[in-house]
């Protein structure tokens, strides 16, 4: 009797899953009639509030890792949905330089969890043919975590179906400072060795030295957690991005949240295209 009940529940679950998948495909089909963004960036806010809501420890003790597990799987689900929709570039704000100011035990717990997730990510992105790129001041990371990030970048360099950029030890101000310093140093070397006779630093050169040079400017920046600020994220690249804030906490983000963000983008796309065109004409 028990086996029959379990079998029935499993069958019912499979039917519901198939129905959900069919409905999602239909919705995505309708969305694709309109403009699909090429690049969506996520500010993954609300993890700590989710931890409090679910009674998970902030420092990773007593099951606190569940907080990071939920956030990781939310990102993987969004990656799958974006890939299914045809969004090529996905960027996630995973860890700000300012986050190093948190309690040492919380930072250590997050770094440990991140290292574990890198190994899992390596398996998942290879199956999905996703190229992984890390943006940020990686020198601030531990040797082990930095080495793992570089290995993952190299292992997925040949993939081109999607590009997942993980911003870690990142702030936009640090990125801009890094790009300007690199551009100045390259210009100095060029002038010193006679390879460059123009003492002006071009805007294009600065942009090539950005951490985010691997991806075009985001079409949509989605922030969960109900806040309406960029928090030092992609300040240079977000000039004409559509900003979409939602109250849902990051680990709880779902397909409908993504659908509404894209519909909102499609409704305002003409305006953003006009603004970009005017900028190029200047």
Which residues are annotated as catalytic?
45
**How far apart are the C-alpha atoms of 68 and 78, rounded to whole Å?**
15
List of residues 6+ apart from 200 with CB closer than 8 A: none
Pairing of strands 130-135, 162-170: parallel
Containing 116, the helix (H) or strand (E) segment is helix 104-128
Buried residues in 99-124 as b, exposed as e (16+ CB within 10 A): eeeeeeebeebbbbbbbebbeebeeb
- Residue linked to tokens 């009797």: 1
**How far from 56 is each of 48, 49, 66, 69, 95, CA to CA, in Å?**
9, 10, 7, 11, 19
Neighbours of 171 (CB within 10 A): 20
**How far apart are the C-alpha atoms of 37 and 220, rounded to whole Å?**
7
**How far apart are the C-alpha atoms of 267 and 53, rounded to whole Å?**
34
């Amino acid at each position: 009797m028990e086996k029959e009940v379990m079998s029935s529940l499993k069958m019912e679950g499979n039917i519901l899953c198939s129905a959900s998948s069919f409905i999602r495909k239909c919705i995505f089909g309708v969305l694709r009639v309109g403009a699909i963004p090429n690049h969506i960036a996520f500010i993954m806010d609300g993890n700590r509030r989710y931890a409090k809501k679910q009674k998970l420890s902030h420092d990773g003790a007593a099951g606190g890792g569940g907080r990071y597990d939920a956030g990781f799987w939310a990102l993987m689900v969004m990656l799958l949905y974006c890939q299914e929709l045809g969004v090529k570039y996905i960027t996630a704000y995973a860890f700000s330089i300012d986050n190093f100011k948190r309690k040492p035990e919380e930072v250590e717990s997050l770094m440990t969890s991140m290292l574990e997730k890198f190994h899992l990510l390596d398996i998942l992105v290879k199956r999905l043919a996703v190229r992984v790129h890390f943006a940020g001041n990686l020198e601030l990371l531990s040797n082990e975590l930095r080495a793992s990030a570089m290995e993952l970048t190299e292992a997925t360099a040949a993939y081109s179906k999607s590009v997942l950029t993980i911003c870690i030890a990142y702030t936009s101000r640090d990125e801009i400072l890094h790009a300007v310093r690199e551009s100045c140093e390259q210009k100095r070397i060029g002038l010193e060795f006679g390879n460059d006779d123009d003492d002006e630093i071009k805007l294009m050169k600065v942009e090539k030295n950005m951490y985010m040079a691997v991806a075009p400017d985001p079409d949509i920046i989605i922030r969960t957690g109900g806040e309406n600020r960029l928090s030092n994220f992609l300040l240079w690249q977000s000039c004409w991005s559509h900003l979409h804030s939602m109250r849902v906490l990051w680990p709880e983000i779902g397909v409908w949240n993504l659908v509404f963000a894209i519909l909102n983008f499609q409704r305002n796309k003409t305006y953003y295209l006009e603004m970009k065109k005017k900028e190029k004409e200047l």
